[in-house]
Amino acid sequence: MSFLSPLTTSIHNPRLCLLNALRANAKPIMTFLGLPSIRTAQLVAQTGLQGIIIDCEHGHISDDAMHGSTAAIAAVGVSPLVRIRMTHGDLIKRALDAGAHGIVVPQVNTAEEAGRVVSDAKFPPQGRRGQGSAFPAIAHAIDIPTYMRTANETIITCLQIETKEGVENIDAICDVPGVDMIFIGPNDLALSILGYVPAKGEEPEFIDAIEKIVAAARKHRKWVARLSNDGASCKEHLKVFDTVAMSYDVRAIQNWYTAELRTARDASQ
């Protein structure tokens, strides 16, 4: 079955910052948000990013905080995505009903799992998502009937590949209609393939895995993304990837204070 999706849609909603940048091949940059604060969400959204991934998998984000951060990010004109904890349909529904412009689903290992995610993310007839929330239309700056008509082809369904099994099945996963983006989680991928974190970046099996994921995404015309630790890494990764997520709000705060305290206490200066 094939159907219109964010990869093929002709719909243009100026509020969908990340989707518009991806379709223009503008190499958008995202980040992860792990702190449960509307104010943090607003501050990070005002930095020039095109997307912010609200991390309900590893971050300190409750359901309430996810709703608040989604609304705050969308109101600034940046695309909120939600990384859910697992592939369960109720988590997908909650994220999309909050107004997420996309979902990021961790630990997808088979085409069957990918198909279930797509089904849970799409309204009928493409899927089984139910309707009942007024909030997503607000986050998309449209009315509810328009949201119902356009959601299936504008909401980004992004799957994380971060295990050896996922790499082995990547071609079949990318072949699933409705999968829009593949996101490489390099740390969990290294842990699965190499048995340690972080990867040095020169291990042949790790390099081969990343190249295999990118090749499958390109073959099936899916967007492909990854985590980048800093601006320099982003610049290099964007030569290959369609978008990257630059670091994490928690890490950014830690790194800034660590660096500035080192400067403040350096007796040689």
- Contact indicator for 182, 174 with CB cutoff of 8 Å: yes
Chain segment 222-258, per-residue pLDDT in tens: 999 999 999 999 999 999 999 999 999 999 999 999 9
Query: Is 88 part of the annotated catalytic residue set?
Result: no
Confidence of residue 13 (pLDDT cuts 50, 70, 90): very high
User: What is the C-alpha to C-alpha distance for residues 203 and 193, in angstroms, rounded to an integer?
Assistant: 10
Of 12, 58, 67, 220, the catalytic one is 58
Q: What are phi and psi of 156, to 5 degrees?
A: -85, 125
The tens digit of pLDDT for each residue in 96-114 reads 999 999 999 999 999 999 9
pLDDT at 38: 96
Q: Give whole-number Cα distances, 75 to 22, 43, 68, 83, 245, in Å.
A: 20, 12, 11, 19, 20
- Residue 4 pLDDT class (50, 70, 90 cuts): confident
Whole-angstrom distance, CA of residue 24 vs CA of residue 213 = 22
Whether residue 202 is predicted with pLDDT greater than 90 in this model: the reply is: no
Is residue 269 very low, low, confident or very high in pLDDT (cuts 50, 70, 90)? low
- Helix runs in the chain, H state only: 17-23, 38-45, 63-76, 89-98, 111-121, 135-139, 144-150, 164-168, 170-174, 186-193, 204-219, 231-237, 249-264
> Which pair of structure tokens corresponds to residue 179?
């999968």
Domain parsing of the chain, residue ranges? 17-265
Structure tokens at 53: 């991934």
Determine the residue type at 25: N
* CATH number for the domain formed by residue range(s) 17-265: 3.20.20.60
Residue 1 has pLDDT above 70, yes or no: no
